Amino acid sequence: MTLQSLNHLFYTLKWKKYNEGEHIFKEYDNSDMIVIITNGLCEVYTYFEGNKFIIEYLSVGSVINQDNFFMEDLMYTNIRCLKQTSVQYLTPEGYETICNEHEHFKIQS
């Protein structure tokens, strides 16, 4: 991967801040973005037999939703911020733009 490709990817990513208690995704949301946590802490959880079940905690560098993004599937867990959290995210439009200019980013079938 060239420095030009990395720069293009970096400038294609968008930024967003979430406050404590906000959800990045809720169960059954359309999961149309790949998210990278750049600051903060989140919990991934679901409900089982009426009880909250925490699956894992996510912090700086965690990548969320890359599988669902490419499979165009729904989110099946909840991701909630435990403190103010900053993320970078890639949308389908951003991915298409990068792929049109840099062939090596395309998923090979």
The two structure tokens encoding residue 96: 């298409």
> Which structural domain range is residue 29 located in?
3-101
CATH of the domain at 44: 2.60.120.10
- Please tell me the predicted confidence (pLDDT) of residue 65: 85
In a domain, 47, yes or no: yes
Helix (H, G, I), strand (E, B) or coil at 2: coil
Reported as a single tens digit per residue, the pLDDT across 45-80 is 999 999 999 999 999 999 988 887 877 778 889 999
Measured between alpha carbons, how far is 53 from 30 in angstroms, rounded to an integer?
Answer: 22
In a domain, 106, yes or no: no
In a domain, 107, yes or no: no
In a domain, 109, yes or no: no
3-state DSSP helix/strand/coil percent for the chain, to nearest 5?
25, 40, 35
In a domain, 108, yes or no: no
What is the total count of domains within the chain? Answer: 1
Report the 10 Å Cβ neighbour count for 49: 5
Please give the average per-residue pLDDT across 30-53, as a whole number: 93
The model's pTM is 0.80
In a domain, 72, yes or no: yes
